[in-house]
Amino acid sequence: MEVSASNEIPERRSRRQSYWTALCWTVLSCSSLLPGLGCREPARVTIAVIPRTTASMQWEPMHRGAEAAAADLGVRIYWNAPMREDDVGGQIAMVGRVIGENYQGLVLAPDQALALITPVRRATSRKLPTVIVGSPLPMEPGGRLSYILNDEEEGGRIAARRVATLLHGHGSIAILGINPDIAGIMTRARSLEQFLAENYPDIRVVQKLMGSFNMPREQQIAEQTLQSNPDLDAIVALMWTSARGAISAVDAQPHSRIKVIGFDPDVIAFQDPALDSVILQNNPEIGRRAVQLIDAQLHGKTVPPLTTLKPLLVTRENADSPQVREMTSMDWRPGALHWNWSTTP
């Protein structure tokens, strides 16, 4: 005899309701995950990259290199930075958020050497692979901490050789933009002076001045430098704000032949006659290698504690070369990096 649903044995009906309830909860649990992820699909590795600032020709090329490596390795990049390079507190707060959230690695270009020590120690103590790029911290590499740095010693020598070429081995220069908060800048300053003293004793450094990220202040300092040294032949600006200030000050003097050599440009504008050359760090390759190092650590591989990459002298003669275009392009979309850095000397 057929049994209606209303006359079904209560125990059997209870088991069937429990089955459908469990199935519904399983479906709802899967659908509540991140969009595009199934129940069994693991979350992708996310690496935080925090430069000194963003949206500039100095740092967006690093974004390009990081994204290129991420595309090859199947990881994600979280890219963020303060609006200003002197916003040390903002950068410290960003590092703190990365430590407290679910990131698997940190790439950091520190705004200030001493202030970032404590956040970086917190990151490494929590076993977060950390790569410091651009300029070092006063911390020894090892464990979860490694460095990929611009070769500032070579940068100072490049500037010195360019000065010697411009002045034919004789003349006077000023060094602007000395910043003790950024270790790399201090290294390039010492290297520049040492190379000149050892190889070109007839080139005199007549003035050395501190620098900042304040453009009007840097222009005022450059103007005072020119007034105090009417026979000045060239200016080496170790920070780009100092270079911009020097270029503006030189432009304001009619018929001035003073040439400016700058570091770390936000833009390369050789239409300005005062700008002779810039020294460019290889930020696309720094970003690419930093992400590769973190991925290697996550897979249990041993990574080098320190890697240095040589900067490049950019003049009017090579400014339009493929290599320079790749080093300065701000197109960070995956696939936009074409230069094969492994073949460069």
DSSP letters, 59-88, are THHHHHHHHHHHHHHT-EEEE---SSTT-H
**Does residue 328 lie within any of the structural domains?**
no
Residues 293 and 275 reside in one and the same domain: no
For 17, what's the count of Cα atoms within 13 Å in the CB-facing half-sphere?
8
Q: Are strands 203-210 and 171-178 parallel, antiparallel or unpaired?
A: parallel
Structure tokens at 160: 């010195």
- The strand order across the sheet containing 259-263 reads 203-210, 171-178, 234-237, 259-263, 275-280, 312-314
Residue 250 and residue 301 in one domain: no
Dist. CA 28–CA 322, nearest whole Å: 52
Average pLDDT score over residue span 132-154: 95
Please indicate, yes or no, whether residues 289 and 142 belong to a single structural domain of this protein: yes
Per-residue pLDDT tens digits for 279-311:
999 999 999 999 999 999 999 999 999 999 999
The whole-angstrom separation of Cα 51 and Cα 79 is: 8
* Residue where a domain stops, chosen among 228, 257, 280: 280
Q: Let me know if residue 66 belongs to a domain.
A: yes
Same domain? For 113 and 172 the reply is: no
- Give 257's pLDDT tier (boundaries 50, 70, 90): very high
Residues paired with 150 in a beta bridge:
309
- Residues 107 and 164 reside in one and the same domain: no
In a domain, 145, yes or no: yes
Based on the domain organization, do 188 and 264 belong to the same domain? yes
Question: Is 306:333 a contact under the CB 8 Å cutoff?
Answer: no
Q: Give the span between the Cα atoms of 48 and 205, in whole angstroms.
A: 41
Q: Residue 5 pLDDT more than 80?
A: no
For every residue of 129-180, DSSP letters joined together read -EEEEES--SS--BTTEEEEEE-HHHHHHHHHHHHHHHHTT-EEEEEEEE-T
Final residue of a domain: which of 280, 301, 331?
280
Quick one: 64 and 117 in the same domain? Answer: yes
For residue 31, being part of any structural domain is answered with no
| Domain count along the chain | 2
Q: What confidence tier does 333 reach under pLDDT thresholds 50, 70, 90? A: low
Return the closest-CA partner of residue 345 out of 271, 282, 265, 253. Answer: 282
**Is residue 9 a part of any domain in this protein?**
no
The pLDDT of residue 42: 57
The better pLDDT of the pair 203, 38 is held by 203
Same domain, 270 and 289: no
Considering the domain architecture, whether residues 74 and 53 belong to the same structural domain is answered as yes
Name, in order, each residue with C-beta under 8 angstroms of 268's C-beta and a sequence gap of 6 or more: 57, 278, 314, 319, 328
Same domain, 170 and 270: yes
Of the residues 241, 261, 280, the one at which a domain ends: 280
**Is the model more confident about 243 or about 37?**
243
56, 199: one domain: no
DSSP state of 320: T
Q: Are residues 175 and 210 in the same domain?
A: yes
Domain extent, residue 75, equals 46-151+282-311
The CATH number linked to 168 is 3.40.50.2300
